[in-house]
Structure 1
């Protein structure tokens, strides 16, 4: 494709045109614009990228400012690509564009974004008049409120973070639908149907289930001590904000093998990979360079603090912070477990889950590994070709190029959608099923006690054996555990279990 309208029916516009013009290597934007010389408009989905073709009347013009304005209008606000464009483009060309329309909303946004992303102040006088405009359009993006008014460009800064770390999340139809479903209220309705004592018992099981699932995702088999430590952390998740360096280190020290505890962020380059042949390594993910970590992590903490009071949906905040954390990969070990713990911590602190209630999101991730992997690979896969690295004979990695930009300005929309799906699945299956199972158990236990006064341990065994055999006690289990009960008692006890669990 070419920018020359006489040579091809399609011309890249917006980010596509600028990427081609400056020969940029980028993580592809979610939306790609093309302008045709025909009067048609269509939208296609290609490799998870929305490709939209516009009629010729949409052609913005060849100048830098015109293409940037088109990009903001139709392709969205991609901070990483904008940062690269600003590094390569002629600053005077941008200044000319801004000076010709100093009060235009797109000119002001680009002016602000240039100074925000480059740290350089343009030789322009502060605006003295005009209404303030939102930097990100709230109907297209999740934004913080209250905003940070910037007098210089008369812009409402409603970003999640600052120049150190600033993820974005778009308001996609899927996310709008999840918000409309009000999963927090659905969780409350599920919980409201059960007695407090039953909830307390269920929670004890769910803590353990979540802990084991979080370790199992990483194919780790912790000893009982580490399981107990993680359970203890989950039990206080709603009491303390763990999104700070010191608590992160505390959690990391509790969930990893004692030999791999850390006292600071990692000082070596880490990556996730697998050996595919003798001497061969397949790299799945490369973390940011150690020298970039401190600033990125400080930025993540700052974004979390802003989101805490920013009126953003708790699930969006949890996705931005927890996935941001795992992509920054600040430790040699324990990053995944910490990432999943932060999801609970943020949802509990923001009041998304009823007080004292925790649902096992990791269990849903474990049962749907392809979906969880996809949520991670939505960032890691397009990142891989942009990282220039070498591995020595001992598997130590050195990253040769500057990569901080990609971790600093992530589009975490796919991760937010995935987290909403996992939460919905958890509420509708794991939480509901566990509570229902316990309610059925209590009914079966009461029915058994009305027939024979068995010790609790034997009641539990009887129910378990029956459930393993379609509601009936096998002859082998009867002879080994319940040989003292009569045939009539066994029949009545089996019926009590089947009735409680709705078995035929």
Structure 2
């Protein structure tokens, strides 16, 4: 059902955006107030539109709609930052001083000073209980937070002024948070022999490496594959969320000709050539001048979440997707983004030591889900960024755009990463371990039928698996002409017995 909003008045963020003509990424929740009727809601693609009855009209002052927005639309730092830059300081100060102890007033007061860096001409509060800045039943927060005596508010944001994601506690995230990643991994690995797990580890490292490159349609050389595997092996040993270490990671995984010594100095974008001298731009990255501050903020947010007991998958989603949205290097950003998922999950002790977690393989097998996790941010962003492309494909961004990347609602990305974690546990790990277990059984059965060298047994299994469980006449003639028809049938049956059911 499509609601008729032509006779309704915008409220909350919708009112503020219209009143001050600000440019900001859309909020997940939009409010209007009708002239009559009951509360009505529609939901589509993660967007919620609410029409409130007349009694909900907050008033005509900016402060009234700021309070309404926090109460019903949620906390959107991007919109608030843009609006605060437009509101005369004396106006917001007067509204706050009219009811300084109200819980939403105090939150707006703190957010104003946090986002603008400007101190309002108001005295500190001297009494009253402390309240949370973000309500912990509605948002993921850093605990225990920092007590701000001036407004008597506990600041529990996931980052600082330079970069601060917001992740809402949706029904999906709350239900998926019940997944105990480490426990599920431990239960899985205890059901397989230790020797098989040691062998599987090599396969899993290779699978993750190839998948991460293949997502970007890259076929790496043997040396680049080995370098990336070496990097994944290091993921469980140290925290790579430091600028020098990120540069080191980039240098290890890209062609030496494209190694960076700092964040990129030029404007880049994600796109594809669709005809001669015509590019389809999918995503515009932050301007180079904005990168140092944005990346510094991302690394601060990482520390806040690491020390603030934020759930590990929420933490990994915010930092890894934040990194790829920054695109701080000329090359290798996507692979580093996926590497950071491993690094953070290992740091937060979510993956048992000695196990590789092939999340990139789950992303590769579910491209629509992965694309959606990126487009949830890139699609609305592309409606706001004004850019030019010259004949050489060099991009120029026309206006200030740094604020768009600073305060991102990353709920969609967190939900997607939970999906990928679930798929990885239930499919990628199980399939790989089952494949090796079946392989061992098949090898043993073949050896019991025909005592031939291990090399030929491995080749026979591989060729049969490539041909629906049977050895082609051509391959038999070139490699296994010594087998009798009976022996061939027995060996094919051994392969089919273990693999056709899987």
TM tier relative to shorter chain: over 0.9
Q: Is it true that 1:126 corresponds to 2:118 in the alignment?
A: no
Kindly indicate whether the alpha-carbon contact (under 8 Å) linking 1:364 and 1:425 is maintained by their aligned counterparts in 2: yes
Partner of 1:4: none
Q: What is the CA distance between 1:264 and its match in structure 2?
A: 0.5
SS at structure 2 position matched to 1:208: helix
When normalised by structure 2's length, the TM-score is: 0.95
Kindly indicate whether the alpha-carbon contact (under 8 Å) linking 2:241 and 2:299 is maintained by their aligned counterparts in 1: yes
Q: Deviations over 1:365-417 (max 9, x none)?
A: 12222221211111111111222222233222222211111111111111111
For structure 1, the residue ranges without an aligned partner over 5 or more in a row are: 1-6
Alignment of 1:448-463 (within 5 A): 448-463=446-461
Once structures 1 and 2 are overlaid, which stretch shifts more, 330-339 or 489-498?
489-498
Q: Is it true that 1:402 corresponds to 2:400 in the alignment?
A: yes
Q: What is the CA distance between 1:503 and its match in structure 2?
A: 5.0
Q: What is the CA distance between 1:47 and its match in structure 2?
A: 5.5
Kindly indicate whether the alpha-carbon contact (under 8 Å) linking 1:471 and 1:503 is maintained by their aligned counterparts in 2: no
SS at structure 1 position matched to 2:177: helix
Partner of 1:483: 481
Once structures 1 and 2 are overlaid, which stretch shifts more, 152-161 or 196-205?
196-205
Match of 2:16 among 8, 15, 18: 18
Once structures 1 and 2 are overlaid, which stretch shifts more, 363-372 or 105-114?
363-372
Once structures 1 and 2 are overlaid, which stretch shifts more, 189-198 or 14-23?
189-198
- Equivalent-residue separation in structure 2 for 1:47 and 1:467 (angstroms): 41
Q: Is it true that 1:420 corresponds to 2:403 in the alignment?
A: no
Partner of 1:277: 275
- Equivalent-residue separation in structure 1 for 2:282 and 2:465 (angstroms): 42
Match of 1:170 among 168, 171, 174: 168
SS at structure 2 position matched to 1:386: coil
Alignment length (residue pairs): 498
The two structures, once aligned, show a CA RMSD in angstroms of 1.7
Q: What is the CA distance between 1:310 and its match in structure 2?
A: 1.1
Q: Is it true that 1:300 corresponds to 2:298 in the alignment?
A: yes
SS at structure 2 position matched to 1:50: strand
- Equivalent-residue separation in structure 2 for 1:370 and 1:240 (angstroms): 32
Partner of 1:152: 150
Q: Kindly tell me: are residues 52 and 465 of structure 1, through their superposed partners in 2, closer, same or farther at Cα, counting changes over 3 Å?
A: same
Partner of 1:203: 201
Q: Kindly tell me: are residues 485 and 169 of structure 1, through their superposed partners in 2, closer, same or farther at Cα, counting changes over 3 Å?
A: same
Partner of 1:356: 354
Partner of 1:317: 315
Alignment of 1:431-450 (within 5 A): 431-450=429-448
Partner of 1:291: 289
SS at structure 2 position matched to 1:37: coil
Q: What is the CA distance between 1:174 and its match in structure 2?
A: 1.2
Once structures 1 and 2 are overlaid, which stretch shifts more, 112-121 or 138-147?
138-147
- Equivalent-residue separation in structure 2 for 1:116 and 1:422 (angstroms): 34
Q: Is it true that 1:53 corresponds to 2:51 in the alignment?
A: yes
Q: Kindly tell me: are residues 335 and 8 of structure 1, through their superposed partners in 2, closer, same or farther at Cα, counting changes over 3 Å?
A: closer
Once structures 1 and 2 are overlaid, which stretch shifts more, 453-462 or 245-254?
453-462
Q: What is the CA distance between 1:337 and its match in structure 2?
A: 0.8
Q: What is the CA distance between 1:8 and its match in structure 2?
A: 5.6
Once structures 1 and 2 are overlaid, which stretch shifts more, 370-379 or 237-246?
370-379
Q: What is the CA distance between 1:284 and its match in structure 2?
A: 1.3
Kindly indicate whether the alpha-carbon contact (under 8 Å) linking 1:315 and 1:416 is maintained by their aligned counterparts in 2: yes
Q: Kindly tell me: are residues 121 and 441 of structure 1, through their superposed partners in 2, closer, same or farther at Cα, counting changes over 3 Å?
A: same
- Equivalent-residue separation in structure 2 for 1:33 and 1:184 (angstroms): 41
Partner of 1:346: 344
SS at structure 1 position matched to 2:50: strand
SS at structure 1 position matched to 2:354: coil
Q: What is the CA distance between 1:188 and its match in structure 2?
A: 2.6
Q: What is the CA distance between 1:177 and its match in structure 2?
A: 1.7
When normalised by structure 1's length, the TM-score is: 0.95
- Equivalent-residue separation in structure 2 for 1:8 and 1:456 (angstroms): 75
Q: Is it true that 1:100 corresponds to 2:91 in the alignment?
A: no
SS at structure 2 position matched to 1:74: helix
- Equivalent-residue separation in structure 1 for 2:281 and 2:240 (angstroms): 30
Partner of 1:3: none
Once structures 1 and 2 are overlaid, which stretch shifts more, 326-335 or 380-389?
380-389
Kindly indicate whether the alpha-carbon contact (under 8 Å) linking 1:365 and 1:372 is maintained by their aligned counterparts in 2: yes
- Equivalent-residue separation in structure 2 for 1:215 and 1:494 (angstroms): 34
Kindly indicate whether the alpha-carbon contact (under 8 Å) linking 1:470 and 1:503 is maintained by their aligned counterparts in 2: no
Q: What is the CA distance between 1:436 and its match in structure 2?
A: 0.5
Q: What is the CA distance between 1:477 and its match in structure 2?
A: 3.0
- Equivalent-residue separation in structure 2 for 1:444 and 1:271 (angstroms): 49
Q: What is the CA distance between 1:46 and its match in structure 2?
A: 4.2
- Equivalent-residue separation in structure 1 for 2:354 and 2:155 (angstroms): 36
Kindly indicate whether the alpha-carbon contact (under 8 Å) linking 2:23 and 2:82 is maintained by their aligned counterparts in 1: no
Partner of 1:80: 78
Q: Kindly tell me: are residues 503 and 165 of structure 1, through their superposed partners in 2, closer, same or farther at Cα, counting changes over 3 Å?
A: closer
